[in-house]
Chains A and B, each alone.
Chain A
C-alpha cells in the first residue's frame, strides 16, 4: 500500500479558496485545500508497454500546483485534468521496474507532459517534430485526460510514494547531481524553453519580472543560452537577489524600482496615466513575466519598447492588454518544455531538447545555491509544506519539495 496526497473535487472548498485565498493564504493550508492524504490503488497505467513504476525521491511544489489548490487557476484547465489526481510534476524518482533500456534502480527525472507516445496514439503534428508540449492529444488514448503527470488520475504524481511514467518521459540523472538539484531539472527545462521562446537578439536588454524558481531559472537560461546583453531581474527578497546575481543578472531591482530603473537604463520616457499603472515609452526589448499576476504582466508590458516581446511564463491572470495593442507587442506564451528544441540542435545534427540542456545547467552554481535552500517535507506535513510554499521567497526558500519516502 502506498500513501499519496490526492486532489479531489470539492466545490465549497474551491470556492472558499478562490474567494479568500489571496487575502488569507493560511486558509489554503487549512480547510480550504481540496487535498487529502489517500492510499490509492496502483496507478492504472501500470503494465502497459513502455510504462514503469517509479518510487518518488523528491517532488517539488510548483506555482501552478498552488494555483490549482487555491482555485485561482482558470476553469479553462478543468477539461484537461482528471480528478481525483495526485499532484506533483517536478519529480526525481528511482525506477522500480526495468523500463526498456533503463534498469530498475536508475535515478530519473520526469518530463511530465503526457504526449502521444505515452498515450499510445499516433504522433500528432506537434509531437512529430518534437514540440511535445504542444501535443494536441492530451485528452485521448489509454489515459484519462491530463496535460501532465500530476494532473492525471491514471499516472499518480510526485506527491505520492509511487507513480508510473512512460519511457518517453524519463531522463536519467547524472550521479554528480544531488536529489535537490535533480528536482529542479524540470523547472530548468521549462526555463530553457522560456529562454528560447523569448527570441533574444544579440545586444537585447531583457527584463525578468519575478524571482521565484521560474524567474531565477529563466535568468540562468537567458544568460547561458541566449545572446542577451543585459538581464534585469526584479526580486524582493535577499536570497532571491543573491541567486539572481549568481545566475547572471546584470542588475537586480526591487519591484517598486523596476520602471524607474528600466527607464534610466534605456533612456525611455515615463508616463503616468490616471488611476492606473505608470508605463514607459521605450524600454527593454524583451520582458519575461515569471509571476503570473496582473500587476506583473502589466509591468512587463509597460516596460517593453514598442515592437518588443513579452513572454508569459507561468499561468497568467487577467490583465489590461492595452499596451499589447498600442505598443504592438509580441505576447508569447511558453508552456512546459519540448523534447526537441530546434535552436539547441548542434552542428552534428543530434537532436537536443529542453531536458538535455536542463540536465547540463543543473550543475550550475546558481542551481546549487537554489538546491541548498530546498525545504523538504514528508507527505503528512503537507499543510506546513503548502503554507511554506506560499511564502517561500520571504522565508529564504526557492523551492519546497515533498520527500514521500521519509517519515519526518
Chain B
C-alpha cells in the first residue's frame, strides 16, 4: 500500500536531501527545523488498463455511452493533450494512445468515416512526426497522419478557426473550426496536475490568441490563487465560462486520465525514495550519478535526462460530461499529490528540475526555469502560498542552458530585449505583448517550424507573476549571476549564502519549507 505524503522536520538524524537543479541534483544539508514536504507514494496502478478505458467509455458520467453518440456519416473529431504532458514523457504505450485506440475501435464499429485527430497544442510548438507518433501510437499514426487527418492545431490559421461568440464578461471564444463544427468532439486528456483538464482542455488547448489573451494575463495570474486550484483561479474561471459557451455549440465527450507518481525509471528510481530509507545501493547509485554527471559534458547530461521515459501507471480514467468528469479526476489527482501542510513559512526552497512542460526535447532556458520555479512549483498549493507575503523563495538551477533557437526564438528576444528593460509582468504585458503576438516572423515559425508562439514567453512570465507579487526576495542557488540579474533576481553559490542574502527581509533564523519534488506535490496549506 502506498504511504501518504507528509511533512518532515529536519533533525539531527536527517541525512542530506535530494534537491534537483537542472541537469543534475545535489544533496543538501538543510538547517535543523526545516520542513520538507514529501509527496505521497505512488498509488497502485490499474492492471487492466484497456478494461478500465472500455468501462469508462461504456459507462460515462452524466452522458450517454460513447457508442450511442457515434453514427455513420457523422463528423468526429478527437483532440488530445500535446507533449507538454505528462512530464517526463511516458514510456510506450502512452495512455492517450490506448484511449484513442479504444475510441476509434468504437467509431469503426459504428461506421464513422469522417474522423480527424488534432493535437491540442494551442500556442505550444508543433510536434514533429516522431513526437506525435509517440503519443498516439504507431497504429493510429499510420492510419491518419499520411492523409493529413492527424495534425497539430494551428492557432494562426484564420480559415481554420471559428469564433463562437463572447462570454457574459466579454471574452472572445475562438476555437478550432473543425472541432467546433463536429457532431462530436472527443477530448483525450492526461491530467498530470490539478491545473490541467476540465474546460481548460478544449477552451485552451484548441483556442487561439484571441481567446487566450483574456485569461493569460499578469493580472489574472496574480489573482489565481493558485492556478493549481481551479475553484480559486481567475484563469480557470474564465476558461470555465468559455467552456460552457463551447458546450452550447458542440457536444464534447471528455475523457480524463490520471497517472501515479512513478516519474523516474531505473537507475534513477532512488530519487523517488525517501532519503533515510536509502540502502547502500541507493547511496552508491547517487554517488555514481553525481560523479558521472559532474564529468559529463552538458550535451550528454541533457541526453541522459531527456532520454528518460517515465514508467507512469494509470490510476484512473473517467469519461463523459466535462465538469462531472473533472471532479472525479481532481479527486484522484488530490489523492496522489495532496499533502497537508500546517501554515506557511518565511522561506520557500524549490529545486527546479531539468524538465518543464515547455522544454520537452529542448532546453530549460532561464525564462522557463523561472516559470517552473516561481510558476508551477510556487503555485503548487491550495489555500495559502507556502511562504508568507514578503518572504523569500530560494530556487536551485544553474540557469546555464541557453536558448533553443528552433523551439524558443521569441524567448531569446524576450530575454535580451524585454527583460533588459523591465521584469514587471504587468508593464511587460502592456508594452510588448501585442508586438510579440503579432510579429509575422514568430507567426511564421510557429506555423511552419517547431517554434512556440511569439507571445508564449510572456505567458511564462505571467505564470510567475503571482510569486513575484507575493514574495520579497528570490535567490537562485548555483545560478549564473548574470542571468539571474537579467531576470531581476540574485544568485548565490550555496544555500547558506542564499539564506544570508535574504536575512534582511526574513531575519537570520527564518522558518524554511522545502517542497521535495518531483514527483508532483500539491500542498494543502492550512492557515
Residues of chain A whose beta carbon lies under 8 Å from any beta carbon of chain B: 251, 253, 257, 260-261, 263-265, 267-270
Contacts of B440 in A (CB 8 A): 267, 269
Contact among B409, B412, B417, B439 with A267 in the assembled complex (CB-CB below 8 Å): B439
Asked if residues B441 and A267 are in contact (CB atoms below 8 Å), the reply is yes
Asked if residues A264 and B444 are in contact (CB atoms below 8 Å), the reply is no
16 A–B contacts, CB within 8 A, in A order: A251-B417, A253-B416, A257-B416, A260-B409, A260-B412, A260-B413, A261-B413, A263-B441, A264-B413, A264-B417, A265-B417, A267-B439, A269-B440, A269-B441, A269-B444, A270-B441
Closest 4 CB pairs of A and B: A264-B413, A269-B441, A257-B416, A260-B413
Closest Cβ neighbor of A265 among chain B residues = B417
19 other A-B residue contacts (CB within 8 Å) besides A260-B413, A265-B417, A267-B440: A251-B417, A253-B416, A257-B416, A260-B409, A260-B412, A260-B416, A261-B413, A261-B416, A263-B441, A264-B413, A264-B417, A264-B439, A267-B439, A267-B441, A268-B441, A269-B440, A269-B441, A269-B444, A270-B441
Contacts of A269 in B (CB 8 A): 440-441, 444
- Cα–Cα, bound, A265→B435 (Å): 9
Closest Cβ neighbor of B432 among chain A residues = A264
Contacts of A257 in B (CB 8 A): 416
Closest Cβ neighbor of A256 among chain B residues = B416
B32-66 interface with A by 8 A CB criterion: none
**Distance (whole angstroms) from the CB of A280 to the closest CB of chain B:** 9
For B, the interface residue count at a CB cutoff of 8 angstroms equals 9
- Cα–Cα, bound, A269→B416 (Å): 18
Residues of chain B whose beta carbon lies under 8 Å from any beta carbon of chain A: 409, 412-413, 416-417, 439-441, 444
- Cα–Cα, bound, A112→B272 (Å): 76
Closest Cβ neighbor of B439 among chain A residues = A267
- Cα–Cα, bound, A270→B444 (Å): 10
- Cα–Cα, bound, A269→B442 (Å): 9
**Distance (whole angstroms) from the CB of B62 to the closest CB of chain A:** 48
Contacts of B412 in A (CB 8 A): 260
**Distance (whole angstroms) from the CB of A314 to the closest CB of chain B:** 27
- Cα–Cα, bound, A257→B416 (Å): 8
Residue of B409, B412, B439, B441 contacting most chain A CB atoms (<10 Å): B441
- Cα–Cα, bound, A50→B441 (Å): 61
Closest Cβ neighbor of A263 among chain B residues = B441
- Cα–Cα, bound, A257→B441 (Å): 16
- Cα–Cα, bound, A387→B247 (Å): 74
- Cα–Cα, bound, A251→B421 (Å): 10
**Distance (whole angstroms) from the CB of B403 to the closest CB of chain A:** 10
Contacts of B441 in A (CB 8 A): 263, 267-270
- Cα–Cα, bound, A264→B439 (Å): 8
**Distance (whole angstroms) from the CB of A302 to the closest CB of chain B:** 15
**Distance (whole angstroms) from the CB of B127 to the closest CB of chain A:** 22
Closest Cβ neighbor of B421 among chain A residues = A251
**Distance (whole angstroms) from the CB of A207 to the closest CB of chain B:** 15
Closest Cβ neighbor of A257 among chain B residues = B416
- Cα–Cα, bound, A269→B412 (Å): 15
**Distance (whole angstroms) from the CB of A241 to the closest CB of chain B:** 11
Closest Cβ neighbor of A270 among chain B residues = B441
Closest Cβ neighbor of B438 among chain A residues = A267
Contacts of A260 in B (CB 8 A): 409, 412-413, 416
**Distance (whole angstroms) from the CB of A261 to the closest CB of chain B:** 6
- Cα–Cα, bound, A257→B420 (Å): 13
- Cα–Cα, bound, A268→B441 (Å): 7
- Cα–Cα, bound, A263→B436 (Å): 12
Contacts of A253 in B (CB 8 A): 416
- Cα–Cα, bound, A263→B412 (Å): 12
Closest Cβ neighbor of A264 among chain B residues = B413
Asked if residues A261 and B439 are in contact (CB atoms below 8 Å), the reply is no
- Cα–Cα, bound, A257→B415 (Å): 11
Closest Cβ neighbor of B415 among chain A residues = A257
- Cα–Cα, bound, A263→B440 (Å): 10
- Cα–Cα, bound, A267→B436 (Å): 9
- Cα–Cα, bound, A264→B414 (Å): 10
- Cα–Cα, bound, A264→B409 (Å): 10
Closest Cβ neighbor of B409 among chain A residues = A260
Closest Cβ neighbor of B418 among chain A residues = A264
**Distance (whole angstroms) from the CB of A267 to the closest CB of chain B:** 6
- Cα–Cα, bound, A188→B441 (Å): 38
**Distance (whole angstroms) from the CB of B411 to the closest CB of chain A:** 11
**Distance (whole angstroms) from the CB of A291 to the closest CB of chain B:** 21
Asked if residues B444 and A261 are in contact (CB atoms below 8 Å), the reply is no
Closest Cβ neighbor of B441 among chain A residues = A269
- Cα–Cα, bound, A293→B413 (Å): 26
**Distance (whole angstroms) from the CB of A365 to the closest CB of chain B:** 23
Contacts of B413 in A (CB 8 A): 260-261, 264
Closest Cβ neighbor of A254 among chain B residues = B416
Contacts of B417 in A (CB 8 A): 251, 261, 264-265
- Cα–Cα, bound, A270→B449 (Å): 13
- Cα–Cα, bound, A257→B419 (Å): 14
- Cα–Cα, bound, A211→B419 (Å): 23
- Cα–Cα, bound, A103→B417 (Å): 54
Contacts of B409 in A (CB 8 A): 260
- Cα–Cα, bound, A264→B417 (Å): 9
**Distance (whole angstroms) from the CB of B70 to the closest CB of chain A:** 45
Contacts of B439 in A (CB 8 A): 264, 267
- Cα–Cα, bound, A263→B409 (Å): 11
- Cα–Cα, bound, A264→B445 (Å): 13
- Cα–Cα, bound, A95→B507 (Å): 68
**Distance (whole angstroms) from the CB of A385 to the closest CB of chain B:** 32
Closest Cβ neighbor of A272 among chain B residues = B405
**Distance (whole angstroms) from the CB of A234 to the closest CB of chain B:** 13
**Distance (whole angstroms) from the CB of A186 to the closest CB of chain B:** 34
- Cα–Cα, bound, A260→B416 (Å): 10
- Cα–Cα, bound, A257→B412 (Å): 9
Residue of A253, A267, A268 contacting most chain B CB atoms (<10 Å): A267
Contacts of A267 in B (CB 8 A): 439-441
Contacts of A268 in B (CB 8 A): 441
- Cα–Cα, bound, A260→B409 (Å): 9
- Cα–Cα, bound, A375→B413 (Å): 36
Closest Cβ neighbor of A252 among chain B residues = B420
- Cα–Cα, bound, A336→B444 (Å): 44
- Cα–Cα, bound, A192→B52 (Å): 79
- Cα–Cα, bound, A269→B439 (Å): 10
- Cα–Cα, bound, A257→B444 (Å): 20
**Distance (whole angstroms) from the CB of A303 to the closest CB of chain B:** 14
Contacts of A251 in B (CB 8 A): 417
- Cα–Cα, bound, A406→B277 (Å): 77
- Cα–Cα, bound, A269→B440 (Å): 8
Residue of A257, A260, A264 contacting most chain B CB atoms (<10 Å): A264
**Distance (whole angstroms) from the CB of A258 to the closest CB of chain B:** 10
**Distance (whole angstroms) from the CB of A249 to the closest CB of chain B:** 13
